[in-house]
């Protein structure tokens, strides 16, 4: 793998991204979906078509797309293709600057995919780049709860799938990777607030979209030597973001879980409420590439959840 991990924000030109094709199993009915904590039933064939469309859209934009399941051994693949959550690769690891830090599954159902993907990343990258040992003390840290705001600050949610103890265990590695601040927010524990990126997203160099209720929540701002508290809006504004607070998010995943392909282009779901992106003069200028990921979204995650950026320009 001739890859040089480089991610200092969420909006730079996406050059390399990891994905994983959907499971070979259907989730046949609503009761099964509820039992496995998915939103709705999912047909594997349609999900695969959606996923291929997502990959084509990224490749057409010049992105190098890597399906990690292709690189698994046959023995590993026999298990992996039956893991229904394997499409949600964002949670597995995160590139902080030039360093990749592994996550830890917040539910036992997802542990096999973390184990398999991390072993694979160990083969792709040297020990300095992929720091496997950094998750030795982690109990639960899924990177859908993490956003790289800029080369100074990281935003993390301590929620259903990410424990505050794990954030504290990882923060030294984040500072060592080159960041100065970690803003820790504590979102309500509900299915629609499972991860940070189901509530907010970076929509460009200086634009942040967030559910309105987040304006009422404080953030613990942690540095290497100290900590203090700020309101969410003040923390984001201090790091150069204008915030579009919105109460128009009706479909938590489709409306907010988009992916920046470059500073001017967003990859969004056909089900997204585009009025959210038309309420702000800068957002109105964005190029929107719409793809049908409806079947995939029934699993409770969206485009951002299904993509793990390795390199951004």
pLDDT for 52 equals: 98
Q: What's the pLDDT tens digit per position in 29-48?
A: 999 999 999 999 999 999 99
14-312 CATH fold: 3.75.10
pLDDT for 288 equals: 97
pLDDT for 224 equals: 97
Predicted TM-score (pTM) of this structure: 0.96
| Cβ proximity of 127 and 177 under 8 Å | no
The confidence band for 153, taking pLDDT boundaries of 50, 70 and 90, is very high
Give the residue-averaged pLDDT of 294-308: 97
Report the C-alpha gap between 63 and 265 in whole angstroms: 13
Q: What's the pLDDT tens digit per position in 205-264?
A: 999 999 999 999 999 999 999 999 999 999 999 999 999 999 988 888 999 999 999 999
pLDDT for 278 equals: 85
Q: What's the pLDDT tens digit per position in 104-125?
A: 999 999 999 999 999 999 999 9
Which of 20-29, 121-130, 200-209, 277-286 is least confident? 277-286
Give the residue extent of every domain in the chain.
14-312
Give the residue-averaged pLDDT of 175-190: 97
pLDDT for 252 equals: 87
pLDDT for 191 equals: 86
Q: What's the pLDDT tens digit per position in 189-203?
A: 998 889 999 999 999
- All residues at 6 or more sequence positions from 146 whose CB lies less than 8 Å from its CB, including other chains: 94, 154, 155, 156, 157, 162, 196
pLDDT for 187 equals: 96
What tokens appear for 48 in the block? 């695969």
**12 φ, ψ to 5°?**
-65, 165
The confidence band for 279, taking pLDDT boundaries of 50, 70 and 90, is confident
pLDDT for 178 equals: 98
Q: What's the pLDDT tens digit per position in 64-82?
A: 999 999 999 999 999 999 9
pLDDT for 1 beyond 80: no
pLDDT for 2 equals: 87
- All residues at 6 or more sequence positions from 296 whose CB lies less than 8 Å from its CB, including other chains: 22, 42, 47, 50, 51, 54, 87, 302, 306
**Host H or E run for residue 54:** helix 44-60
Give the distance from CA 211 to its chain's centroid: 17
pLDDT for 290 equals: 98
pLDDT for 310 equals: 98
* Residue whose C-alpha is closest to residue 4's, from 16, 19, 22: 16
Helix H segments across 73-213? Answer: 74-80, 111-124, 164-176
pLDDT for 280 equals: 86
């Amino acid at each position: 793998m001739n890859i040089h991990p480089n991610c200092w924000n969420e909006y730079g030109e996406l050059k390399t991204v990891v994905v994983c094709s959907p499971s070979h199993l259907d989730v046949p009915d609503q009761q099964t979906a509820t039992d496995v904590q998915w939103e709705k039933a999912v047909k594997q064939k349609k999900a695969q078509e959606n996923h291929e469309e997502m990959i084509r859209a990224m490749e057409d934009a010049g992105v190098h797309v890597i399906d990690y399941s292709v690189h698994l051994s046959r023995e590993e693949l026999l298990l992996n293709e039956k893991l229904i959550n394997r499409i949600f690769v964002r949670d597995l690891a995160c590139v902080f600057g030039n360093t990749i830090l592994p996550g830890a599954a917040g539910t036992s159902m997802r542990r096999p995919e973390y184990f398999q993907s991390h072993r694979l990343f160990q083969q792709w990258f040297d020990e300095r780049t992929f720091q496997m040992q950094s998750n030795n003390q982690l109990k639960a840290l899924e990177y859908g709860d993490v956003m790289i705001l800029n080369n100074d600050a990281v935003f993390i949610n301590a929620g259903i799938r990410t424990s505050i103890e794990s954030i504290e265990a990882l923060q030294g590695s984040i500072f060592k990777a080159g960041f100065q601040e970690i803003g820790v927010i504590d979102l309500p524990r509900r299915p629609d607030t499972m991860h940070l990126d189901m509530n907010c997203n970076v929509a460009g160099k200086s634009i942040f979209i967030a559910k309105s209720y987040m304006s009422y929540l404080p953030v613990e701002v942690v540095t290497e030597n100290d900590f203090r508290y700020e309101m969410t809006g003040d923390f984001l504004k201090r790091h150069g973001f204008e915030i579009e607070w919105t109460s128009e998010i009706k479909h938590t995943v489709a409306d907010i879980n988009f992916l920046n392909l470059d500073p001017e282009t967003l990859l969004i779901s056909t089900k997204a409420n585009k009025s959210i992106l038309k309420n702000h003069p800068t957002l109105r200028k964005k190029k929107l590439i719409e793809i049908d990921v409806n079947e995939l979204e029934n699993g409770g995650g969206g485009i951002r959840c299904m993509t793990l950026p390795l390199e951004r320009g």
